[in-house]
Structure formats: structure tokens, C-alpha cells
Amino acid sequence: MITPMRDRMARCPGMASAVARRSLALGTGMTAAIAVGGCGAGEEQGPPAPEVTVAKPVLRDVVLSAEFTGTTRAVESVEVRARVAGVLERIAFQPSTMVDEGQLLFVIEQEQYRAARDEALGTMRAAVADSALKESNLERVLQAAQTEAVSEQDVDRARAERDAAIAAVLTARGRLNRAQLDLDYTEVRSPITGQVGRNRVDAGNLVGQSEPTLLTTVNRIDPIFVYFDAPESLVLSMLDFERRRDQYSEEELSELGKAYISTAADEDFPHEGRIDFVGNTVDPTTGTIEMRAAVPNGNDVLFPGLFVRVRMPGLLRKDAILVNETAVGTDLGGKYVMVVGEGNLVEQRYVSLGQLQDDGMIVVMDGLSADEVYVSNGLLRARPGFPVTPLTEEEMAARLAEVLTQTGGAVEGRMGADETGQGEPEDAAAAEPAAAEPSGEEGADGEAGAAAEREGGE
């Protein structure tokens, strides 16, 4: 320890006085530490540049798209209600099954309506018979009038009675039709083909007495509609692309007009549909336009009222620039990436971003070129204007493995020394006397340094 310290003092003019002063104040045991830490500031280099993981942007074709939230609705939805009053006698369907148009669903008591129909039928037949009689009487009166056997007044009376009889037939026929219609309403049938819900009323209950009672609902869900609101700027751009289709290739327009749907149970967007409706009014409070997509639903996995995500693709962007999303930072200026330039100096580069891809890469619309290198991991260690040590992912993985190996060996050695009870305690005991009892030569050095300091002060 003495010889290296002397050498260090010899190389550092003025070091002797400082060492002597600190030795008197703190004890000679600190001399070595002061010598090591206080000399050579001009000779030793600063800390090495921090290591960061770098990568180059990925180039690939991507379809730019936008995502929205929406809800599903049935193409047709019908409330089946009781149109006549009576006791519900029978339920003729199984809930949550497909029914055809005209299929019987409910039966309401029919006796009173059948009796009313028969009564109306008898009334109509009587009216028809009376009309036939009045027609015959008119013919006889007309014949008698030719021989002046009856007066003109008799002819007019016979003709009026015939017309009244015809009117009575029409009235009776209308009542018969109404009675037959009420009887038909006792058999409640499905107005459309679709999936029927549950019965809202059980058999034996009185229905249709004060109002048309809701019995069940039927929805046609293949295809199914998805309604969502899109920003007016996006809708106008889409319509502009449609008007200028001849300026783009079929490949670029291949996804335009499609819509992909994802439910809460889906990890991706497995349901494909097409946009079939764009609203004609912009909501002034939100700046959005209502849109609708028709989605095939042959397997009946989508139901009305679902909360879904809608991905609407746009144009195909060839050779798009993509970076890892974790490499993107945010501050008051916007989104940025750290670019490693000449001399491994870091530059903070603000970028315009596009859509996040499923693999964690994000599209860079502007601000970064394909031949530049960006910091993909270690943003906190990269400071604009300062150098870094760039490593690829493979090099960084190898460096981490090396550090873990060295750390693991040191820990194992220390654990072995602790288990045997040897090593550190003996070394510490041996070191204590040396620290407590300075050698004569070190004391001489201390006195010489103090004398030199006094002379310098004088």
C-alpha cells in the first residue's frame, strides 16, 4: 500500500500536503482512500456511454384502418302482440328457435269468436235471401208498370227496397269478414322468418283486454346490422376514394368498403361485413356520421344489442415504415423516437404515427426514414445530444447473459465462504491492526508532509 501511494504522490504535485492535512484530521487509515480518490482527475476518463438496444425500421405493406365502437341490431325485429282479447290457451313454439313466416306461435280461446263468425254468417245469408226477394219483386212491378197496372210510385218503392236489400248484404258480408278476422287473430303467427324469443305471457292468462299484450319478439339476424359513428373527415375521405377509384389499383382498393367486427369474446376481428349505409346528416355536437355494416351471421353467433369493435380498413400502404411501439415516447411536443446518428449521438425525433399493428409494431407516417437507426429499448438511458453504446437485440442478450453468469459466480463463491466460516473474518482481523497501527515509514511520510505544508503556508 505504501509504495503505490508514494508513486501516486510523486505523479501528483501538491498531493503530499493534502494527504498530510487529511491524515491529521481523519487518521492515517484514510490516507490510501484519499490518494486514490483525489488524484488523477485529469487523467481518468468519464463514465462509459450507456448501452441501449437499437434497431432499424421494418418495411412492409400494411392496410391503414380505423377502429370504432358500435352496437348490433337485427335486420328485422317484430313484436308479436295479441290483437284480440281472450285467455291464452296454448304456446306452440320453443323459445330461442328459428321460426318461419306464418308459423303458429300462440292460440287464444276461439269459441266466442267462432260463435260470432257463425252469427255473422247467418245474418249475411238472410240478407242475401232478402235481396233476392226484393230483386224479384222489382221485376214483377216493372212488368206490371208496362200495362199501367201499378203506379210509378210502386215502381220506385220496389226499386228502393231492392237497393236496401243489396246494402244489407254488403253490411252483413263486412260483419262476417270482421268476425272471421277476429277468429283468425286467435291464432297468433310469426310475421317474419327469424329467431323467436321467450314467451312473455304464460298459458291461462287473459291477454289483449285493455291493450295489445306483448307475447314475444322475432328477430331476423342473418345478416345482422352493426351501427357505429365515424368522424366526418374519415367518411369524406372514404367517399373521395370511391369517386377516384380509377386512380388507384385494385390491390390498393381491395379492402375499401369492408368492415371487420370483434366482440368481447374475440381476440381478433373474425367477422367480415361491408358498409351498406352512410347517414345523410352530420351530428353537429360530435362531428360524426352514422354508418352501418351488414355482417353475415349464418352461425347465429351475433345477437342484437351487442357492444362490438369495428375495424374499417382503407387504402393499402406499400413499404410502410414500422417501429416497435415501446420505442415511442410522449412529451408536450407530441410523439417521438430516439434516433442514433453519427458518432452514436442521440437525436430526439418527433414523428407522426399511424395505426398500431397486431404484432406490437406501429406505422410511422412521417418523421423517420427506413435507413435510420432508432432506440428500441432503453429510452430512459438515451439523452438527446449525448452518446450511447448501440447494441442489437442479440448483442444485448449476450451481454445480459454474461453479466448474469459473472454475478451468479460471485454469489456462489460468497455463499461457499459463509458456509465454511472462513475468509472474510480472518482477513478483517488481519486488516484491523494494519489500519490501527501505521508503520514508522508512513508516520515519517506524514510528518514530512505536515512540515512541507507549514513551510508552504509561511
Comparing CA positions, the residue from 106, 112, 322 lying closest to residue 199 is 106
Neighbours of 435 (CB within 10 A): 12
- How high is the pLDDT of residue 410? 60
- How high is the pLDDT of residue 414? 60
Which CATH number applies to 52-56+321-393?
Answer: 2.40.420.20
- How high is the pLDDT of residue 79? 95
**Distance (Å, rounded) from C-alpha 253 to C-alpha 245?**
8
Helices 440-457 and 2-11 cross at an angle (nearest 10°) of 20
Divide the 458 residues of the chain into consecutive groups of 10 and give the mean pLDDT of each group: 46 45 41 42 68 92 87 95 95 94 96 95 94 90 84 88 93 95 96 94 93 95 94 83 77 82 91 92 92 92 93 84 93 94 93 87 91 92 92 88 77 54 44 42 44 43
Domain positions in the chain: 1-30, 52-56+321-393, 64-72+219-319, 81-208
Render the burial of 53-79: b for 16+ CB within 10 Å, e for the rest. Answer: bbbebeeeebbebeebebebbbbeebe
Instruction: For residue 266, give the DSSP letter.
Output: -
Residues β-bridged to residue 353: 364
- How high is the pLDDT of residue 251? 74
Report the predicted TM-score, pTM, of the whole model to 2 decimal places. 0.61
- How high is the pLDDT of residue 227? 97
Which CATH number applies to 64-72+219-319?
Answer: 2.40.30.170
Which residues, at least 6 apart from 129, have a Cβ–Cβ distance to it below 8 Å? none
